[in-house]
Amino acid sequence: MIDKVLQNGYCIGCGACAALRPEKFHMQLDSNGLLRAVMTSSQDLAPDDPVHQVCPFADPAMDEDVLSARFLPKAKNPHVRIGRHIACFAGKVTDPSLLQSSSSGGMGRWLLRRLLETQAIDQALVVSPCPRTPEGLLYRFEMISTPNQVMGMAKSAYHPVEMSEVLQHVMKTQGRYAISGVPCFIKALRNLMVVNPELQARIRFTLGIVCGHLKSTFYGEMIGWQLGVPPDQLGSIDFRVKIPGKQANEKGVSAIALDSETPATPPKTVRQLFGTDYGQGLFKPKACDYCDDVLAETADISIGDAWLPQYLNEGNSLIITRHPDLHSLIEEGMRQGDLQLDSITADQAADSQDAGLRHRREGLAYRLALAQDRGDWVPTKRVKPSTSGLTLQKKMIFRIRMKISRKSFPAFIEAKRDGDWNIFQRRMNSIIFLYTLFGGNFWKRLRKKIRKHLSIC
């Protein structure tokens, strides 16, 4: 039930429970910069209350396979790593201004703009930058209703958001809506659709965002601090600045202070900054380590970065279609010259997110086995607990990532309290070095030397 999720730290902060039961739940930013559901009412929830079914990490909720079979019946092609689908593509929009203002190939913006232009929907629910709230939030879900408003939505927001307010609006207001969200948010929305038929009738399309994991507010503050903006002065941050001459995976970042209108320094790439390697997992919610959906398998379409060698010279999108209407819209865009896309196989689509899938499948099986040995409660997942087939190196990588995540929160809190960035970096250096040692080429070189030595002997 949902209380087990809350008690054991698996709330991902989506806001589904607060949308369905606003009298019992509200969303609140905790001391680690993560949005959490908080029980408003002290009255116990009945075991058969539908709210238990909407949380994406509660055991009564249906898993991704069941939900995709229910909501995506025309996605006839199954695949163990990317889920049910119609087709897969990689490429970009041909509009230079749209491409430059987008995080990868511009597909999310193009699709929402086309849905609004053709009046297939009345409004879209999207994440957009907002003025800094007293709690320190810089992004939020908002409703847009015109094609021009699409340009103001966030590119990539590695920042906590929740959708209770916009979903309450949808439940109260007739209309045709589309919503864009990460996999666990779309799963929560599908669960809500099961218990709320009106919501199912009004949400016409769901756009899933390929996800490595979510971040707390500390991640943006960490980047801003290195760019010259202290955490308490951070007014806005752009996580996906396109820098001329840099490859797509060399993401640019810029930060603006509260009392300024210009970036504190010229944009830098994440490779130039400490703690931005996504594989390290700093400031990661616990729930993200117990999720097995990278590619938003329950969404009508999934969009992300095409991390394949042939698409790294400039921003390109990965597209997985699961709804026939959206698939037709993509094909129409290709015929009209709005989209420059290549058809790719499901295996190629999965390979583009190979690192994330390994962490969410092999790594999750290992983490579940560790939790099982400790006697900890964990959400039921499609992946089963197992330690088989993992080398010592992989086990160490998965363990170190968990420790990095746990250690990063108190280390950053201490650094902020004392106003000293160096405290955070010193606290994290040793564990990040250990991760680099096990995650790099050290082991390959060691094995090569051992084999060479044995052959000589």
pLDDT at 455: 63
Which helix H or strand E contains 449, and what residues bound it?
A: helix 442-456
Phi and psi at residue 114, to the nearest 5°? -65, -40
Q: Which of 299, 184, 306, 315 lies closest to 251, judged by CA?
A: 315
* Cα-only R_g, the chain: 22
Q: Are 204 and 189 in contact (CB under 8 A)?
A: no
Parts of the chain belonging to CATH 3.40.640: 62-214+286-354
Looking up tokens 């039921």, which residue turns up?
A: 380
Return the axis-axis angle of helices 217-226 and 421-439, rounded to nearest 10°: 100
CA–CA dist 416, 423 (Å, integer): 9
* 208: amino acid identity, one letter: G
pLDDT at 250: 79
Angle value at C-alpha 422, between 418 and 427, nearest 5 degrees:
95
pLDDT at 444: 62
CA–CA dist 5, 373 (Å, integer): 19
Q: Are 74 and 323 in contact (CB under 8 A)?
A: yes
Q: Which of 403, 331, 399, 320 lies closest to 82, judged by CA?
A: 320
Q: How far is CA 2 from CA 19, 37, 159, 374, 447, in A?
A: 14, 10, 23, 21, 47
pLDDT at 156: 87
* DSSP sequence for 65-125: HHHHHHH-TT--B--TTT-SBSEEEEEEES-HHHHHTSSSSSHHHHHHHHHHHTTS-SEEE
Tokens of 34: 């993560």
Which helix H or strand E contains 328, and what residues bound it?
A: helix 324-335
Tokens of 447: 């094995």
State how beta strands 203-209 and 177-181 pair. parallel
Q: How far is CA 291 from CA 60, 79, 444, in A?
A: 15, 18, 29
pLDDT at 456: 59
Q: Are 164 and 27 in contact (CB under 8 A)?
A: yes
Phi and psi at residue 154, to the nearest 5°? -65, 150
CA–CA dist 251, 271 (Å, integer): 8
DSSP state of 353: T
pLDDT at 191: 97
State how beta strands 177-181 and 123-129 pair. parallel
Name every residue whose Cβ is closer than 8 Å to that of residue 426 and which is 6 or more positions away in sequence. Answer: none
| pLDDT digits (tens), the chain, 457 positions | 888 999 999 999 999 999 999 999 999 999 999 999 999 876 678 888 999 999 999 987 799 999 999 999 999 999 999 999 999 999 999 998 888 777 788 999 999 999 999 999 999 999 999 999 999 999 999 999 999 999 889 888 999 999 999 999 999 999 999 999 999 999 999 999 999 999 999 999 999 999 999 999 999 999 999 999 999 999 999 998 888 777 777 789 999 999 888 898 889 999 999 999 999 999 999 999 999 999 999 999 999 999 999 998 878 999 999 999 999 999 999 999 999 999 999 999 999 999 999 999 999 999 999 999 999 999 999 999 999 989 998 999 999 999 999 999 999 999 999 999 999 999 999 999 999 888 766 666 666 666 666 665 5
Which CATH architecture group holds 62-214+286-354?
3-Layer(aba) Sandwich (3.40)
Tokens of 437: 């040692």
pLDDT at 47: 83
DSSP state of 321: E
pLDDT at 315: 83
Q: Are 402 and 395 in contact (CB under 8 A)?
A: no
